[in-house]
Amino acid sequence: MTQFYTYLWLRENGTPYYIGKGNGRRGFRSQGHNVHCPRFKSRIIVQHWESEEKSFEMEKWWISFFGRKDLGTGILRNMTDGGDGTSGMVHSVLAKCLIREANTGEKNHFFGKTHSEETRRRMSEIQKARHPETSRIPKLTRSEAQFLSWATKRKGKYRKTRVRKIPTCHPEAKYGAHGLCKPCYMQAYHKKAKGASA
């Protein structure tokens, strides 16, 4: 059963700046809104209701209680009085084609335009502030990625690291068995073989 709710997005000072109605992940993402979702979940208040109608009713009540900034009646950045959403609506193929045509080419508001260097710099600073370096996944070189894929779990078991003995006789020579370089190992092998034959 789908559970509907009203959600309040709060500023850092605790006052709400947006109120909406939704279900699922609607109240926890910016997609489909004219404002951005708070970065921290602690600044999102959710109230569950028994029906969609009750959620719409409470959304309208909260918006009327706090008022809208665009109308000069309050502090919310909502552009409507609430109660006008459509849950589970899916556009038909024809509707999708009409929307695409209405926003393609010269009909698009940004057609032929580009952001200035100053605008790009400001957009970059905003994104960096929203996602600080400490929360980013570090980029790995190809060799580091290959090493991690080799050293990580495989089928629930850790791969054993292959350790070779460093030759104690001639460290600059190639690795061999029993802590000897290959020439010394072969020499010891032949001595052992001659002793066994005698």
Instruction: For the chain, give the percent of residues with pLDDT over 90.
Output: 34
pLDDT of res. 116: 93
Where along the chain do its domains lie? Answer: 4-66, 165-198
In terms of Cα–Cα distance, which of 17, 171, 21 is closest to 83? 21
Give phi and psi for 168, each to the nearest 5.
-90, -15
pLDDT for the residue 153? 47
More confident residue, 146 or 118: 118
User: Would the pLDDT of 58 be above 70?
Assistant: yes
Instruction: Note the pLDDT tens digit of each residue in 156-190.
Output: 454 555 555 555 566 555 555 455 666 777 777 67
Residue pLDDT, tens place only, 69-118: 999 999 999 999 988 766 666 778 898 899 888 888 888 888 889 999 99
> Mean of the pLDDT values across residues 51-79?
93
